[in-house]
């Protein structure tokens, strides 16, 4: 019994380490989170609702952000398991207004080698690279369709009911 405090101290230390590791998982600066939120607001889905997904990584040159509107998975019926990319409008002038200066701005369209793949985000996307401020450089890719690994944003049943995922 004299050493019963050691396991508790060890457990407390593990909890401190876990809390520290968990806080490091989201190492993006707050300004990049704000930027992602601003750009997400530019998506205008043709349906009533849409869910914006994103990927954000720091490269050797800058922060690289990829945004896309989530797809809908059909559940039941003849089209069960199909993913339907969301139709949307995206105002490019609003996008340009988010940058202080722009170094690159172009549209990319790549031929898909496999016609069975209809959710290849690299097939059509807009790239803009520039400064948000004097110090903050961002490369933003806005994808026409979400990557497969993103999974659906919604599930739609054969009776028309739509649920978020």
Q: Which residue has the higher pLDDT, 118 or 124?
A: 124
Distance CA 65, CA 156 (A): 28
pTM higher than 0.85? no
Strand pairing report for 154-157 and 137-143: unpaired
Q: Write out pLDDT tens, residues 56-111.
A: 999 998 999 999 999 989 998 888 888 888 899 999 999 999 999 999 999 999 87
Furthest CA-CA distance within the chain: 71
């Amino acid at each position: 019994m004299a050493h019963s405090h050691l396991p508790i101290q060890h457990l407390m230390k593990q909890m401190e380490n876990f809390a520290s590791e968990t806080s490091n998982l989201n190492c993006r600066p707050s300004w990049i989170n704000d930027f992602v939120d601003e750009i997400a607001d530019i998506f205008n889905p043709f349906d009533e609702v849409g869910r914006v997904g994103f990927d954000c990584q720091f490269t050797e040159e800058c922060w690289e952000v990829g945004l896309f509107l989530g797809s809908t998975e059909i559940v039941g019926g003849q089209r069960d398991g199909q993913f339907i990319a969301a139709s949307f409008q995206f105002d490019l002038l609003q996008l340009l207004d988010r940058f202080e200066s722009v170094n690159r701005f172009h549209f990319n369209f790549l031929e898909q080698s496999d016609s069975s793949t209809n959710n290849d985000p690299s097939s059509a996307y807009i790239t803009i690279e520039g400064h948000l401020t004097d110090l903050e450089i961002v490369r933003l890719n806005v994808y026409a369709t979400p990557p497969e690994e993103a999974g659906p944003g919604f599930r739609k049943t054969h009776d028309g009911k739509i649920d978020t995922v």
